[in-house]
Structure 1
């Protein structure tokens, strides 16, 4: 998930728009729901537990953020200054969880309740070792339970074409409904940025 806030206010002119070297473009899809969907059955997840982290250590957080997001070029939190990131993660209306297996944190769930009318599934991701076998569904059911434990009005998320190709379909199956689309252009975070040159090899550096 990238750092986009809302869809573009007007459509772009039709056609192909070339990007200069060092830039990336992605199509962002916005999805929302207004009530807790009917829970879906979840396969057993032996040895897996969900851990709440209040005021998480920034180094720990960035390691996990990179672990689950580097393959999809998650970068927004990697640019963020310590004070700003700490202010978010220590806010009582931001909840950070890890999916932990055999003592190792392998998944990230972050819920942002700071806007009481618009609760955001801010970050949701798994290490590749946990992908498959229903672990994503397990984590999403936990996310939905925790989100709708509070008297929220709207739960929303956005994903983009840099993320897993399965992301949009997964969110729809989880009960989210698409409502908007945007194009985001950004510096490639592998070009003198916070991510390594070998990150996301499926997206060529130009």
Structure 2
């Protein structure tokens, strides 16, 4: 399995004219973070947090350097992303994904653009993420099409 690390070193042009609306999760973060992680990650074998205790989820989801956003379309959650701010003022797209029923509808690219804009609006010096061969087959191409550039590959 290969892991691809990608980054943006400058903000892309602003394009907030999307039909996708963003809602930041500021209440019941633990509940929402766990639910979204399970719903979105199930198809992609996101397993590392499934055994976490309630306390571990709470410490993670309520950390001051983590923000969670949900994408909404016609009143339905289409997916979510989490942004993690690091001490070097970089912002990592820690998790990003669509709910299963919205995959394949052409929403991923616009949702990723909104995600990157939110990261840059958090005064990031760099926005980065990683993906792997277990993610959606078009994930890497989607990231690259939105201005993310590979800077490291692990096999």
Conservation of the 8 A alpha-carbon contact between 2:25 and 2:32: no
1:105 to 77, 94, 98: 77
1:146 equivalent in alignment to 2:146: no
- Compute the TM-score of the two structures, normalised by the length of structure 2: 0.86
Q: CA, structure 1 residues 60+38, in 2 after alignment: closer, same or farther (shift >3 Å)?
A: closer
Distance in structure 2 (CA, Å) of the matches to 1:99 and 1:92: 21
1:164 equivalent in alignment to 2:136: yes
Distance in structure 2 (CA, Å) of the matches to 1:161 and 1:77: 19
2:102 to 109, 120, 130: 130
Q: Which has the higher helix share?
A: 2
Larger Rg: 1
Distance in structure 2 (CA, Å) of the matches to 1:57 and 1:144: 21
Query: CA shift at 1:78, angstroms?
Result: 1.6
Conservation of the 8 A alpha-carbon contact between 1:119 and 1:152: yes
Unaligned runs of 5+ residues in structure 2 are none
2:43 to 44, 64, 71: 71
Distance in structure 1 (CA, Å) of the matches to 2:74 and 2:25: 17
Q: CA, structure 1 residues 37+49, in 2 after alignment: closer, same or farther (shift >3 Å)?
A: closer
Report the RMSD for the aligned CA atoms in angstroms: 2.2
Counterpart position of 2:7:
32
Aligned length, in residue pairs: 155
| Partner secondary structure for residue 124 of structure 2 | coil
- Compute the TM-score of the two structures, normalised by the length of structure 1: 0.67
Query: CA shift at 1:120, angstroms?
Result: 0.4
Distance in structure 2 (CA, Å) of the matches to 1:128 and 1:83: 28
Conservation of the 8 A alpha-carbon contact between 2:29 and 2:62: no
